[in-house]
Amino acid sequence: MNVEQVMTLAPVIPVLVVHDVAHARPIAEALVEGGLPALEVTLRTPCALDVIREMAKVEGAVVGAGTVLNPDDVRASVDAGARFLVSPGLTEPLANAAIASQLPFLPGTANAGDIMRGLDMGLTHFKFFPAMTNGGIPALKALAAPLFAARFCPTGGITEQTAADWLALDAVLCVGGSWVVPAGTPDVAEIVKRARAAAALRG
């Protein structure tokens, strides 16, 4: 599976910060049931790698690692069974390690220089992050026009109410969103409901 295939599995990739491994499978099962199979587990908690391992056991789930910062994170994510990698920014050591891993890689970018560096390395798909504080839709439209080979997953500050506006941009294949899974003990029925609404955002 390449990065574009991951990005087009559903219009929304849930961005997940999971603090308890016991919550991993119920969350993943609810998201897949609701129509969101691509799951980004951020490496922001001590148990994140174990969460990836658990979620990867859920049929239909395509589990990736987010907040990947360096080559060590790449190696740990690969070992945990991640099927794609997402980072908040783009550095050469990280990009080289991610490319060498042969996993789909979605590096964070915020400006033309970031995107051009990625394009020079053979990357064409990027996270636009943090989307809202970097100028929102007008900024991405302005960047995407001259950098027309790039495709994006805007993440950061996007809500259920604004996601469709982002998805209407030709350069946007999906958005990253944290609203689908509220913090705390998972309410499976609520997650399924939110996932179904998110999955229906495009078409």
Q: 3-class SS at 200? A: coil
CA distance 187 to 99: 37
Q: 3-class SS at 42? A: strand
Task: Please state, as a whole number, how many other Cβ atoms lie within 10 Å of the Cβ of residue 122.
Answer: 8
Catalytic residue among 54, 127, 141, 160: 127
Neighbour-count burial for 142-163, b at 16+ CB within 10 Å, e otherwise: ebbeebeebbbbbbbebeeebb
Catalytic residue among 4, 29, 33, 40: 40
Positive or negative: CA dihedral 7, 183, 53, 106:
positive
CA neighbours closer than 13 Å in the CB half-sphere of residue 158: 29
Task: Please state, as a whole number, how many other Cβ atoms lie within 10 Å of the Cβ of residue 180.
Answer: 27
40 is catalytic: yes
57 is catalytic: no
User: What are the residue numbers of the active site?
Assistant: 40, 127
